[in-house]
A and B are shown apart, each in its own frame.
Chain A
Amino acid sequence: MKEKSQILGNHAETMSEEQLVKFSSTVSPSTTKSYEEMGKELKDRIVKLLGRSLAIREVDAGSCNGCEIEIAALTNSIYDVERFGIHFVSSPRHADLLLVTGPASRNMEAALRRTYDATPGPKIVIAVGACALDGGIFGDTYATTAGIDKVVPVDVYIPGCPPRPELLVQGLLLAVNRLKR
Chain B
Amino acid sequence: MLSISDIALGTVQVLVLMALSPLLTGIMRKTKARTQKRVGAGILQPYYDIEKLLRKDEVVSDQASWIFRVSPWVNFVAIVTAAFFIPVFLANSPFGLIGDLLLVVGLFSLARFFTMLAGLDVSSTFGGLGSSREMMISALLEPAVFLAIFVVAITYGGTSLSTIVESASNSAVLPHPQLIFAAIAMFVVMLGETGRLPFGNHETHLELTMVHEAMALEYSGKSLALMEWSQSIKQILLFALIANIFVPWGMASSASPYSIGIGMATFVIKVAALAVGVAFLESSVAKWRLFRLPDLVAIAIASSMIGLAFYYL
Q: Which residues of A contact B (CB under 8 A)?
A: 50-53, 55, 76-77, 80, 82-83, 85, 87-91, 93-94, 96, 117-122
Q: Which 4 A-B pairs have the closest CB atoms?
A: A52-B48, A93-B220, A120-B57, A91-B217
Give Cα distance in the complex from A90 to B205, angstroms: 5
Give Cα distance in the complex from A119 to B221, angstroms: 10
Report yes or no: B52 in contact with A51, Cβ–Cβ below 8 A: yes
- Chain B 11-67 residues near chain A, CB threshold 8 A: 33, 36-42, 45, 48-49, 51-52, 55-59
Report yes or no: A93 in contact with B59, Cβ–Cβ below 8 A: yes
Q: Which residues of B contact A93 (CB under 8 A)?
A: 59, 217-220, 224
Q: Which residues of B contact A (CB under 8 A)?
A: 33, 36-42, 45, 48-49, 51-52, 55-59, 204-207, 210, 213, 217-221, 224
Q: Which of B33, B48, B57, B217 contacts A121 (CB 8 A)?
A: B57
Contacts A90-B204, A121-B56 hold; do A83 and B217 have CB atoms under 8 A apart? no
Residue with the greatest number of chain A CB neighbours at <10 A, chosen from B33, B56, B58: B56
Give Cα distance in the complex from A28 to B85, angstroms: 58
Q: Which of A52, A80, A90, A117 contacts B52 (CB 8 A)?
A: A52
Q: Which residues of A contact B217 (CB under 8 A)?
A: 90-91, 93-94
Q: Which residues of A contact B204 (CB under 8 A)?
A: 90
Report yes or no: A51 in contact with B51, Cβ–Cβ below 8 A: yes
List 14 interface pairs A-B (beta carbons < 8 Å), by A numbering: A51-B55, A52-B51, A55-B49, A77-B37, A82-B38, A82-B39, A82-B40, A83-B41, A85-B41, A87-B49, A90-B217, A93-B217, A118-B59, A121-B56
Give Cα distance in the complex from A96 to B59, angstroms: 12
Q: Which residues of B contact A119 (CB under 8 A)?
A: 59
Report yes or no: A82 in contact with B33, Cβ–Cβ below 8 A: yes
Q: Which residue of A lies closest to B213 (CB)?
A: A90
Residue with the greatest number of chain A CB neighbours at <10 A, chosen from B36, B205, B210, B219: B205
Report yes or no: B56 in contact with A122, Cβ–Cβ below 8 A: yes
Q: Which residues of B contact A82 (CB under 8 A)?
A: 33, 38-41
- Chain B nearest CB from A121 CB (Å) reads 5
Report yes or no: B33 in contact with A51, Cβ–Cβ below 8 A: no
